[in-house]
Structure 1
């Protein structure tokens, strides 16, 4: 007998897909599961406030149907931290004042975690000078280009970049 798991693993917990296949992953997270860390910004995939990690890759959850993620692992801002400890990027955002109103912060942090993994795998960006390198160095321009899909209307960009640069440089040592 073959059984299939028709659940989505969200922050390590198996969750059944919504009955309505038109429900976005964002709405499942916020409305059904009460995970309000993931924000609804533009609802058009342009601002990045709803960024989460799906199998380690960053996605905008407002454009993703929840049913597309059956059998996959989704991590939200709530799932990044350990039991008693913040994720290193969460700590760095606090230390570098990488937020003002905080609305975009969860999406920024999830995006940065995914972005750092992309760079370690050698995934190039528009500004990567050598497309054949194994691991992409996160220079100032590289980091800003890779994070350009996440908007901050408050102007905390310098703190955001400093927090990501410090954390990602620390991971590479």
Structure 2
């Protein structure tokens, strides 16, 4: 079995993996980072979004060996070492951007990638960016609100659905 070496949430990791092992399976099963969820196995739901070298990636579409030498960030690495939530995590909590929580890690990882590239996205830009993330509980309204709040924008004008 090949060995894959990467940095996950700031920690060096080396793991023997079968060539067919998906990155999501390595994270969840081998590294016990279970915040990265498997929802569909077909790249449709976005529950498995992580960052690979700073880019949002659906971990169910990438083989673990493709992350050789990469820096990988998961939802577990978003909070500070003392447990303080990141700005986007806090905004999701404050603005009720979650219900059951299954999609939340992928939504937060996608949202943080969006805010890195577009620090002040419009409501329409947020909705377009999140098209690859499915939420069956919230209706997206509070997710959009949370992302806008995390970007420092006034959320009083966010349209109700």
Structure 1 residue 56, shift from structure 2 partner = 1.2
The answer on 1:157 being equivalent to 2:155 is no
Equivalent of 2:124, from 141, 164, 171? 141
The answer on 1:99 being equivalent to 2:102 is no
1:148 is paired with a residue of what secondary structure?
helix
Number of residue equivalences = 150
Structure 1 residue 159, shift from structure 2 partner = 1.0
* Residue equivalent to 2:41: 43
Per-residue CA deviation, residues 113-157 of structure 1 (Å, 9 max, x unaligned), is: 11112225xxxxxxxxxxxxxxxx511111110111111011241
* Residue equivalent to 1:134: none
- Aligned CA-pair RMSD: 1.6
Matches within 5 A, 1:46-57: 46-57=44-55
For 1:169 and 1:160, the matched residues in 2 are separated by: 14
1:59 is paired with a residue of what secondary structure?
strand
Structure 1 residue 168, shift from structure 2 partner = 1.6
Per-residue CA deviation, residues 6-62 of structure 1 (Å, 9 max, x unaligned), is: 511011111114331210000000011111100000011110000001111100000
Is the alpha carbon distance of 1:167 and 1:36 closer, same or farther for their aligned partners in structure 2, counting shifts above 3 Å? same
For 2:26 and 2:33, the matched residues in 1 are separated by: 9
* Residue equivalent to 1:16: 14
Q: Structure 1 unaligned segments of length 5 or more: list them.
A: 1-5, 121-136
Contact 1:29 1:35 in 2 (8 A): yes
Contact 2:88 2:108 in 1 (8 A): yes
* Residue equivalent to 1:169: 152
Matches within 5 A, 1:62-81: 62-81=60-79
Give the TM-score normalised by structure 1: 0.82
For 1:60 and 1:168, the matched residues in 2 are separated by: 23
Q: Which has the higher strand share?
A: 2
